Chain A
Amino acid sequence: MGTSVALRIDAVTKLFSGIAAVKAASFEVAAGETVALIGENGAGKSTLMKVAAGVYPAGTYEGSIWIGGKEAAFRSIREAENAGIVLVPQELHVAPNLSIAENMLMGRLPKRLGVIDRVEMRRQSREWLDFFQLDVDASAPASTLSPSEQRLAMISAAVNKSAAKVLILDEPTASFTEGEALHLFEKMEQVRAAGVATIYITHRLDEIETVADRVVVMRNGEVVKETSEVKGNRAAFVRAMIGRDPKQRERKPARTDGEVLLSVSSFTVRSAQSELRPLVDDVSLTIRRGEIVGLFGLVGAGRTELAKAVFGAWDGEVTGNVEIHGGHQRPRSPKEAIARGLAMLTEDRKRSGLIEGQTVLANISAASISEVSSYSVIRRAEERKRNLDLARRLDLRPLTLTANVENFSGGNQQKVLLARWLATDPTVLIVDEPTYGVDIGARFELYRILRELAESGRGVLMISSDLEEIVEESDRILVMYKGRITGEFPAGATRHQLMAAATGDAAAA
């Protein structure tokens, strides 16, 4: 481990309209060291890192940032980058139609005589891609990369474009599968070997042991724990993050013998544009009353496409049949699917779930407004009462219907969306990555709600690339690989079995 301190954060406090998001937080990272920064959503991790990376310019916070022994006062992200601090944000801003090279060099495109030097641009991006052994064509559009490849490309660009001394990764693996995450960790080893200090923000405690030399835990804006005992310390980390002991959950025996509520048979889904192999290939599955079925698979396995097509929301070609609780036709639109008792919590909360700019009340009612209307006129008192009951049942915090949804934390936004679907009183609920970007406390509440739903006689299909979630919460597990279902397991299957099926390793499955 390097001995020189690469970055020192000293008593940083950052206020947002008078409320402290970060309170006198201090810690340091040495060159060549990897520090995992963990904490619940809203603990102040991202805010603190944005202060360090110049997103919030000097003067808008208290305390100081020291780089290699000198105090830094960045006025912009560019200044921070020039000083060697690079932040790769959780939400990547990739322009899908621009080339990979252009995306990687964005803001620093090489120019000759004022015109972009394409040859030099390709050479540089090629070199950076090679650093991570990414075998892709730099002049192809960025949309041809998988999300994990995009992230790797952007990380390598971040490391290289300004001779990074400190690399800050904000939840890089949130949308990764385990395999992709392991790949990233190998690359991070390379970065570390080059003497770069890394701050690694994550929600996944299992990753920490693989990645980090030291762990810093934040809660309510303060650094509450700092330790280099990384291994076998998970329970202590969870306690530090949530400030109390996590509730133990009892597992009831799985029910997999109920009546069939949803039956999908010989289902094939193709994309609207291309004639390539189908995204979902001849899939059949059933969801029974009272069970949570986990659908596991790597990114690109076709899980989301399957769910969207079942829900009637797929633009491309779909063949095969869907039976919902007796009804025999495949739904042609989300509207029809909802009318027949299907509900789908979408994968991309911000893009296709939340209706930002509107109140919690309107967001909860979005799929069920006609339930509380007569002749299309909304019965307002009844709507408010119903939604308030739902919000209370899901423990929405803060409990208000009049605030706009964008002001809530990720976990509470997810509760609002779940309330939207509960309001439709669905027979079968499909949830796609239900706990993506949701902190630990809210995560357990979401599991509790899903379990309650199942116990009250609904069926739940839970799509996830979080192995822990799949193993812990499912009564039955399906695994997809390249558009096909490659394995079905009872509760209690091992991670090894699931991963093997998810990577097409037929011998092990």
Chain B
Amino acid sequence: MVIVFILLFLAFNIASDGIFLTPRNLTLLLRQGAIVAVVAMGVSILIIKGEIDLSIGSAVYLCGVAAAILQLQFGVGTFGTVVATVAVGLLLGAWQGAWTVGVQVPSFVVTLAGLLAFRGAGYYLTDAATLAPMSESYSALSEGFIPPTVTYGVMAALFAIGVLLLVLASRSSARETGNANVPLLIVKVALLAAVAAFATWIFVGYRGIPVALVWVFGCGVVLWFLMTRTEFGRNAYLIGSNREAAHLAGISIKHHLVGGFLIMGALYGIAGTLMTARLSASTPTAGLYLELDAIAAAVIGGTSLRGGIGTVGGAIVGAALLVTIDNGMSILNISSFVQMVVKGMVLLLALAMDRALNKRSQRG
């Protein structure tokens, strides 16, 4: 995966005469990827549980519509709008969860219906018109920056926390196996330092850390913890791998599935907020095909469509890869039609790889 990134970076950089690898472009690239990354995390959790969500684009659009209406027609403040948007997202998630779990309609069908109905509802509420402009403080939720001076501090703090976590992990594994692997720890810390330095170079070289990334980071940390350290996450993998056995082991499938859809719902709200803030408007094409990007990102990041396998971090990496391809092609002035074809092929390739890897692991 790392190699793929380096190759893509180099290829795009050479083809674009050095525009690609500039702090400005990379900052914009990361900000652009934030929305996909947020929903990709949610859909990867659903896929891990053996469900799917095809309604993401429409649901995010509808959340954005809600945000625009609240602010423009009712004059709700920025904070209130965000809370209400997430609440709308939770409602949409609860709706899909109820049909999937309560009525036992496959989530494929429920969310396919959502794909149509949510966008339709948004069009009905707005007459398919663009609602603009959002307030400046609202727009800053995605477009703002943490100033470079503070960015240094933030990056240093994150690096320190990262080193601390690595040392602790190494300690506990040493306790288990009996021997401390110090060289490995040093390599890991060095890698972390390189990544942190690169990120700092990007951020400080432009205008600081984009606020959109803070959302991704926040969601990422919370969901990573949820999926790797809690009962909820553990059971998610068990349900996805063998639902019947999980049920017979006393795991409440219904609660966990509804939980998954609610998480997805909250992420609709956050992504809807980011999207509306980014454009400072709700536009009728917002979020179109977002579900495909999200699913592709999850699968590229190692989530298996057969359920039970995948990580939140992988979904973020997958989103980064997709947006890199997007951004690179845009810089090279490749027509947006061709871009669609290329992204379609990337999705196909990702699924083909998923299949091939599964086959191999079955044989081994």
| Chain A residues within CB distance 8 Å of chain B | 17, 311, 313, 333-335, 337-339, 344, 346, 351-358, 362, 365-367, 369-370, 373, 376-378, 380-381, 384, 420
Which 10 pairs between the two chains have the least Cβ-Cβ distance?
Answer: A338-B250, A367-B249, A335-B250, A366-B249, A355-B242, A357-B241, A357-B308, A355-B241, A352-B244, A376-B231
Closest partner residue, chain B, to A420 (CB atom)? B249
Report Cα–Cα, A381/B244, bound state, in Å. Answer: 28
Check A369/B234 contact, CB under 8 A, given A357-B309, A378-B229, A384-B176: yes
Closest partner residue, chain A, to B309 (CB atom)? A357
> Does B232 sit within 8 A of A, measured CB to CB?
yes
Number of interface residues of B (CB under 8 A): 24
Report Cα–Cα, A362/B241, bound state, in Å. Answer: 11
Type the 1/0 row for B237-249, where 1 means its CB is closer than 8 Å to any CB of A: 1100110111111
Known: A334-B247, A357-B309, A365-B234. 17 other contacts (CB 8 A): A17-B364, A311-B248, A333-B252, A334-B248, A334-B249, A335-B252, A346-B245, A354-B242, A356-B242, A357-B308, A366-B238, A367-B249, A369-B231, A373-B230, A377-B231, A380-B229, A384-B176
> Does B235 sit within 8 A of A, measured CB to CB?
yes
**A314 CB, nearest partner CB in chain B, Å:** 11
Kindly identify which residue among B232, B249, B364 contacts A376, using a CB–CB cutoff of 8 Å: B232
Contact B245–A362 (Cβ < 8 Å): no
> Does B251 sit within 8 A of A, measured CB to CB?
yes
Contact A366–B251 (Cβ < 8 Å): yes
Residues of A within 8 A of B364 (CB): 17
**A57 CB, nearest partner CB in chain B, Å:** 14
Residues of A within 8 A of B252 (CB): 333, 335
Contact B234–A356 (Cβ < 8 Å): no
Closest partner residue, chain A, to B308 (CB atom)? A357
Closest partner residue, chain B, to A342 (CB atom)? B250
Count: A-B pairs, CB below 8 Å: 77
Contact A373–B242 (Cβ < 8 Å): no
Residues of A within 8 A of B245 (CB): 346, 351-355, 366
Residues of B within 8 A of A365 (CB): 234
Residues of B within 8 A of A354 (CB): 242, 245
**B239 CB, nearest partner CB in chain A, Å:** 9
Contact A355–B231 (Cβ < 8 Å): no
Closest partner residue, chain A, to B237 (CB atom)? A358
Residues of B within 8 A of A381 (CB): 172
Closest partner residue, chain A, to B307 (CB atom)? A357
Residues of A within 8 A of B232 (CB): 376
| Chain B residues within CB distance 8 Å of chain A | 172, 176, 229-232, 234-235, 237-238, 241-242, 244-252, 308-309, 364
Residues of B within 8 A of A380 (CB): 229
Residues of A within 8 A of B251 (CB): 335, 366
Residues of B within 8 A of A376 (CB): 230-232
Check A356/B248 contact, CB under 8 A, given A369-B234, A370-B231, A384-B176: no
Contact B246–A355 (Cβ < 8 Å): yes
Report Cα–Cα, A346/B235, bound state, in Å. Answer: 19
Report Cα–Cα, A370/B248, bound state, in Å. Answer: 16
Residues of A within 8 A of B309 (CB): 357
Residues of B within 8 A of A313 (CB): 247-248
Contact A344–B244 (Cβ < 8 Å): no
Contact A356–B231 (Cβ < 8 Å): no
Report Cα–Cα, A377/B228, bound state, in Å. Answer: 9
Report Cα–Cα, A29/B328, bound state, in Å. Answer: 66
Report Cα–Cα, A357/B240, bound state, in Å. Answer: 10
Residues of A within 8 A of B241 (CB): 355-358
Contact A339–B250 (Cβ < 8 Å): yes
Residues of B within 8 A of A344 (CB): 248
**A324 CB, nearest partner CB in chain B, Å:** 14
Contact B308–A337 (Cβ < 8 Å): no
Contact A346–B237 (Cβ < 8 Å): no
Report Cα–Cα, A490/B247, bound state, in Å. Answer: 35
Residues of B within 8 A of A351 (CB): 242, 244-245
Residues of A within 8 A of B172 (CB): 381
Contact A346–B229 (Cβ < 8 Å): no
Contact B238–A355 (Cβ < 8 Å): yes
Report Cα–Cα, A334/B252, bound state, in Å. Answer: 9
Report Cα–Cα, A320/B174, bound state, in Å. Answer: 54
Report Cα–Cα, A167/B286, bound state, in Å. Answer: 64
Kindly identify which residue among A311, A353, A362, A378 contacts B230, using a CB–CB cutoff of 8 Å: A378
A-B contact pairs, 23 of them (CB 8 A): A313-B247, A333-B250, A334-B248, A346-B245, A352-B244, A353-B245, A354-B245, A355-B241, A355-B242, A356-B241, A357-B308, A358-B238, A358-B241, A365-B234, A366-B245, A367-B249, A369-B234, A376-B230, A376-B232, A377-B229, A378-B234, A381-B172, A384-B176
Residues of A within 8 A of B308 (CB): 355, 357-358
**B352 CB, nearest partner CB in chain A, Å:** 20
Contact A346–B231 (Cβ < 8 Å): no
Report Cα–Cα, A140/B172, bound state, in Å. Answer: 60
Report Cα–Cα, A344/B245, bound state, in Å. Answer: 11
**B216 CB, nearest partner CB in chain A, Å:** 23
**A437 CB, nearest partner CB in chain B, Å:** 17
Report Cα–Cα, A219/B364, bound state, in Å. Answer: 22
Kindly identify which residue among A333, A334, A369, A384 contacts B235, using a CB–CB cutoff of 8 Å: A369
Report Cα–Cα, A356/B362, bound state, in Å. Answer: 10
**B223 CB, nearest partner CB in chain A, Å:** 14
Identify the interface centre among B238, B249, B308: most chain A CB within 10 Å of its CB. Answer: B249
Residues of B within 8 A of A17 (CB): 364
Report Cα–Cα, A339/B230, bound state, in Å. Answer: 20
Report Cα–Cα, A353/B248, bound state, in Å. Answer: 8
Closest partner residue, chain A, to B364 (CB atom)? A17
Closest partner residue, chain B, to A372 (CB atom)? B231
Contact A352–B238 (Cβ < 8 Å): no
**B224 CB, nearest partner CB in chain A, Å:** 13
**B286 CB, nearest partner CB in chain A, Å:** 36
Identify the interface centre among A351, A353, A366, A376: most chain B CB within 10 Å of its CB. Answer: A366
Report Cα–Cα, A346/B242, bound state, in Å. Answer: 14
Identify the interface centre among A352, A356, A370: most chain B CB within 10 Å of its CB. Answer: A352
Report Cα–Cα, A380/B233, bound state, in Å. Answer: 13
Identify the interface centre among B230, B234, B246: most chain A CB within 10 Å of its CB. Answer: B234
Closest partner residue, chain A, to B306 (CB atom)? A357
Contact B231–A378 (Cβ < 8 Å): yes
